[in-house]
A and B are shown apart, each in its own frame.
Chain A
Amino acid sequence: MIIPHLAVRNILGAGLRTWLNVIVLSFAFVTIIWTQGFNEGLNAQASKAMIDAELGGGQYWHHNYDPYDQISLPDAHGPIPTLLQDYINNSKATAILITQATIYPNGRVYPIILKGIDPGQKVLQLPTRVLTGTETMLPVLIGERMAENAGLRMGDYVTIRWRDAHGTFDALDAQIVHVMKTTVQSIDNGQLWIPLDKMQNMTELRNKATLIVLGKETQPMAEIEDWVFKDLNYLLKDIRDLARTKTVGSSILYLILLFLAMLAIFDTQIFSIFRRRKEMGTLMALGMTRLKVIQLFTLEGTMHGILAALLATVYGFPLLAYFANNGMDLPQSMDSYGVALGEKLFPIYSAGLVSGTALLVLIVVTIVSFIPTRKIVKLNPTDALRGKMK
């Protein structure tokens, strides 16, 4: 126990030099955890928003449906299975019919995806109630970004052209009854929502759907002919991949911070070893083995990391807890980040993240503390006592 005892004495005795290092390291600790928590929060928030507004508890897709293949879309619908119809009747699921269409806002041609949904559905958190319009008027719900890009406002009329089940073009004027605010980018842009029954009539696809969204608590059934169940793991794959890509990007910041922390420790260690050569010689003259001197200097470096973790806890915990509870206001420009974001982001600092980051930084600090001390192995006590190092 002599080495820890001496290491504590040395780093406390070094005073300001120790604390400057510890403060720099603690900044690195807090910033790394803060950044990672931001990413975790971003992922969780984006996933939750998609589940609430688009994915529900999973989806049954018509076997021909491929969201990335617009050409196959005219064949990607079929009669709603009886078993799923029971779910729909009990508000445990909702059917969506999807087709390609074109709108002509302000004389422009604007290709869109037309989606039919039951205005009374309770499965997705979309303001579909506004689609309960008159028999003569076709009410349309769009996202804010769609409205902005197409130059549409609530109350505007827009012409929609589509092909029915037989491939025949048809067109109708529809009225924007609501511009919804949503953090789900796929809903926010390029989509028009209209009542399902009206769309089924318009396309002559009566009682047919492209996909059926289950409620969050609804359990999927056994296999249903012509329909394929897609669970959340599958449906969230894209957003998770995107999050991973973002994580790689933010990892650069992580690595820079880690590098700065390593540099601070490495620099201190190198500086210590050269500046304290005479001290090492004295320690050896007093009977300390080289191995013990190496252990002492390595532990001193590592203790900077431990003290930094403690200091980071003191000011970092309240700071991170504040942001976790109150969220962070996001500027409008964050929309270009590419992930669905709200006005506020709530970072998530899990125990795993905090302890994992702390452990990683401590391991790195220990390794970086050890590397320069290897020079001591070659140190001759008489040279060290004269302040020399080969």
Chain B
Amino acid sequence: MQNSELIKLQDLVKTYPMGAGKIVALNRINITFKYGEFTGIVGPSGSGKTTLLNVVGSLDKPSEGSAMVMDYHIESLSHKEAADLRNRYLGFIFQTFNLLSVYTVFENIEFPLLLLKMSKEEREKRVWEALEWVHLTDKVKSRPAQLSGGQSQRVAIARAIVKKPVLVLADEPTANLDAENSHNILKIMAALNKELKTTFIFSTHDEKVIEYLRRKITLVDGQVAKDEEIQNDNSPFGST
């Protein structure tokens, strides 16, 4: 599994209309991701990082080329099929956490399991397991407004990981966090990657994240400028 292809992007182009013309957000991207990767997509603002994650996450469709995630061809998925892919196999972590404000921590984490129609017992077991991963067992009844930024992002991680997805897509997960919280979050994600073999793909321009990555893809103006394996002696994974 570790060496087989999870995502294959071929000549991927994504454009957006802008007035009479269009903006090219992704320009002929060819990347392959394997199962179990812990990869960062870096680059300046507007380089196409978030767009790439949105396409891979089936939230958006390619304008040209193909994007295959597992056996799903993103370009030809219906809304329902895309929702099904996200529901069953993908987890999302957002820069602004995107927690559901009226729900408690427990309910936020439980939400993806409700969509999977899991039994109550199974849901409870999984939520508590996820809460332990992110060290938030004492906050189950809190609402998002009562949490700090670091705690909110840990809840978002727990929500993304609770269904044990194949792939977690994290869009600037540490952008709103201080250094200490950023390291804590990254350590948790790295540990989950190691323990659950979940593939993580980040978009980031945070230098702190880089030291945890095993692969770094640099995007500039919607194109892959560099794709490199990283030797990180300080990484929780050890030297690669």
Interface residues of A (CB under 8 A from B): 2, 5-6, 9-10, 12-15, 278-279, 281-282, 284-291, 380-382, 385
Contact = CB atoms under 8 A, between A and B. Distances in A.
B107 A9 contact: yes
Contact of A10 (B92, B102, B117): B102
Contact of A9 (B79, B90, B103, B117): B103
B184 interface: no
B106 to A, nearest CB: 11
A286 B79 contact: no
Contacts of A5: 114
Contacts of A380: 60
Nearest to B116: A287
B1 interface: no
A45 B33 CA distance: 82
Interface in B154-186: 159
B102 A286 contact: no
A287 B59 CA distance: 10
Nearest to B104: A13
Given A9-B102, A286-B112, A287-B90, 17 more contacts: A6-B114, A13-B103, A14-B102, A15-B102, A279-B101, A284-B59, A284-B86, A285-B86, A285-B92, A286-B92, A287-B83, A287-B84, A287-B115, A288-B87, A382-B54, A382-B59, A385-B98
Nearest to B171: A385
14 contacts: A9-B102, A9-B103, A13-B103, A278-B98, A279-B100, A282-B100, A284-B59, A285-B57, A285-B86, A286-B86, A286-B112, A286-B115, A288-B115, A289-B83
A380 B61 CA distance: 11
B38 interface: no
Contacts of B115: 2, 286-288
Given A381-B59, A385-B59, A287 B86 contact: yes
Given A286-B86, A288-B83, A2 B114 contact: yes
Interface string B19-42: 000000000000000000000000
Contacts of B96: 278
B77 to A, nearest CB: 12
B103 to A, nearest CB: 6
B116 to A, nearest CB: 8
A282 B97 CA distance: 10
